[in-house]
Chains A and B, each alone.
Chain A
């Protein structure tokens, strides 16, 4: 039951997330957007790089 709930919420999150992002890319082209697609690569690189650095294993 717990596993079903977890999977259901993750799937719902993915569905809503993808829908919103896809809509933003197609219809969200207005002046001064909340999330500017042209800045996506730099921001996602910063996020991915920061997560990788934070995930460094600790030395004993």
Chain B
């Protein structure tokens, strides 16, 4: 039964509940009809009360983690409450379908539509919470964490108030002419442009900046606030997770440093964009540069922050850590003995990831780095795609001495499963006969025949050879086993738990989404991940999973080239 796969302890159940609630909220409200103002996570003219429970739960879980972890009682699952939850969710789904114009449900669209929908949603969430964690365990959790629930509620309200403050700093509206960061950003970009071109102009009132040949309006989201949000989120979480190894308040100084770096990188991004476009750069190039640079800057700042904390001795301290060993008593019984040790050298020996991680993850990271760089200069058509094949091939060749220890043999089961995954993947297109529009075909047709066929050859080679190997190593070889044990390379492929397989497959599904609302590829990718994991578990051979993945990609390539359905790539 599915509920037997649920975490059995309180802490795991709480985290699982939190993620399910966030997922259901996204499914019920994000981009699907009107979001009731009292449930919004953010807002412009209304106060976004929805952020209060979300933020309160996060604070409760983060700060109560160690106390909740100590509660080792097994928690039952209530099927009755869960059935009630599903019924309420079905009602919410009916309202959503009504909002989408399904005639059968149009009678549900009355004046109190949003309030009725949100009432059922809240009831569904409460029933889900009771199904996962019975009232007795909720009482135990509150008792174990003292007054944390009060502090969490206060923090939730503070987050709500801060949210409206952030919006007022960020956005300039007709009633509150704020947009403070936008104005500062416009002036800073103008200063840089003046160094390179004499005809740069800026209008702080409309946030318009550029040259006579190319100009942009710096919207609220372009002013650097999105980067601030991500950097604040990352640095705050990092400091909390590694609080025992970090010196306070010294490490807190890195937060403003990271924010300044983020803002400067955004200034650099805007300045470079205007200068390149003014010098005659194509629209495609500016689109790719515009969209990709922010993420590259964020990843660089986040990595720099974590390295600075780890490497600067003024910022980190040698942690005291508990080491548990199993020893035999004189009576012949086995007992766990816990001792506390100090010293960075010793801690680094016992903590951290297994060195085998490099062979499993670096090929995927090589593809991601090259993909980011190529999208930066490619725009709509990724003409540098062949570099991904080369990067993956070089990384696999480098780590082959380590990787050849795996069993790469494969049998008929993998091939059959791969064909099944292909059929599942194209089923929606086959069923609806609707081929999504894609500019890829037209872009390829514009190339010379040699360039076109060379690009297609590398694209097929990557899909059939390097991508299956790299993704199976990362998602099944590393992630699914890492969710079982830190020493992932000592976990047999046949010993992967159902929960680990499900979670790693969900991440695999996320990787195949084309945008944040692409539910179809999320579901298909997750199912494909489950199928490849099944191939791996069948005989515990990596070769079976890779064969299944390669066969499905090969058939998909044949489909794309045979029917010209370029959207599948």
Interface string of B489-519 (1 = CB under 8 A from A): 0000000000000000001001101111000
Nearest CB in chain A: distance from B147 CB, A: 14
Interface string of A23-46 (1 = CB under 8 A from B): 111111010111111111111011
Is B132 close to A, CB under 8 A? no
Q: How far is the CA of A13 from the CA of B166 in the complex (A)?
A: 12
Interface string of B251-291 (1 = CB under 8 A from A): 01001000000000010010001000000000000110011
Selected interface stretch from B51-59, B431-439, B443-451: B51-59
From A23, A28, A39, B291 is in contact (CB under 8 Å) with: A39
Q: Report which B residues bind A (CB closer than 8 A).
A: 40-44, 48, 51, 54-55, 58-59, 62-63, 155, 158-159, 162-163, 166-167, 170-171, 216, 219-237, 239-240, 243, 248-249, 252, 255, 266, 269, 273, 286-287, 290-292, 294-296, 298-299, 302-303, 306-307, 310, 345, 348-355, 357-358, 361-362, 364-365, 368-369, 371-372, 375, 474, 507, 510-511, 513-516
Q: How far is the CA of A46 from the CA of B94 in the complex (A)?
A: 38
18 contacts between A and B (CB under 8 A): A2-B249, A11-B59, A13-B233, A15-B162, A17-B236, A19-B166, A20-B170, A33-B226, A33-B294, A34-B223, A35-B227, A36-B294, A40-B516, A43-B372, A45-B507, A55-B353, A57-B350, A57-B351
Point out which of A16, A26, A59 has the most chain B C-beta atoms below 10 A from its C-beta. A16
Chain A residues with a Cβ closer than 8 Å to the other chain, count: 52
Contacts of B233 in A (CB 8 A): 13-14, 17-18, 21
With A24-B229, A52-B357 as contacts: A35 and B349 at CB distance below 8 Å? no
Q: Are A58 and B349 in contact, with the CB atoms below 8 A?
A: yes
Q: Are B295 and A39 in contact, with the CB atoms below 8 A?
A: yes
Describe B's contact surface by its main secondary structure: helix
Q: How far is the CA of A28 from the CA of B171 in the complex (A)?
A: 10
Q: How far is the CA of A19 from the CA of B234 in the complex (A)?
A: 13
Point out which of A12, A17, A21 has the most chain B C-beta atoms below 10 A from its C-beta. A17
From B222, B252, B516, A33 is in contact (CB under 8 Å) with: B222
Q: Are A14 and B59 in contact, with the CB atoms below 8 A?
A: yes
Contacts of B349 in A (CB 8 A): 57-60
Q: How far is the CA of A16 from the CA of B262 in the complex (A)?
A: 15
Q: How far is the CA of A2 from the CA of B252 in the complex (A)?
A: 11
Contacts of A57 in B (CB 8 A): 348-355
Nearest CB in chain B: distance from A33 CB, A: 5
Nearest CB in chain B: distance from A8 CB, A: 10
Q: Are B511 and A45 in contact, with the CB atoms below 8 A?
A: yes
From A10, A20, A39, A55, B225 is in contact (CB under 8 Å) with: A20
From A11, A16, A28, A55, B221 is in contact (CB under 8 Å) with: A28
Q: Are A15 and B299 in contact, with the CB atoms below 8 A?
A: no
Q: How far is the CA of A4 from the CA of B539 in the complex (A)?
A: 53
With A33-B291, A43-B295 as contacts: A38 and B221 at CB distance below 8 Å? no
Q: Are B303 and A47 in contact, with the CB atoms below 8 A?
A: yes
Q: How far is the CA of A55 from the CA of B306 in the complex (A)?
A: 10
With A18-B159, A30-B221 as contacts: A13 and B299 at CB distance below 8 Å? no
Q: How far is the CA of A32 from the CA of B243 in the complex (A)?
A: 37
Q: Are B371 and A42 in contact, with the CB atoms below 8 A?
A: yes
Point out which of B42, B290, B365 has the most chain A C-beta atoms below 10 A from its C-beta. B42
Q: Are B41 and A2 in contact, with the CB atoms below 8 A?
A: no
Contacts of B255 in A (CB 8 A): 9, 13
From B62, B167, B269, B310, A34 is in contact (CB under 8 Å) with: B269
Nearest CB in chain B: distance from A51 CB, A: 6
Nearest CB in chain A: distance from B260 CB, A: 15
Q: Are B221 and A51 in contact, with the CB atoms below 8 A?
A: no
From A25, A39, A53, B353 is in contact (CB under 8 Å) with: A53
Q: Are B240 and A10 in contact, with the CB atoms below 8 A?
A: yes
Contacts of B357 in A (CB 8 A): 52-53, 56
Contacts of A49 in B (CB 8 A): 361, 364-365, 368, 474
From B232, B351, B355, B372, A59 is in contact (CB under 8 Å) with: B355
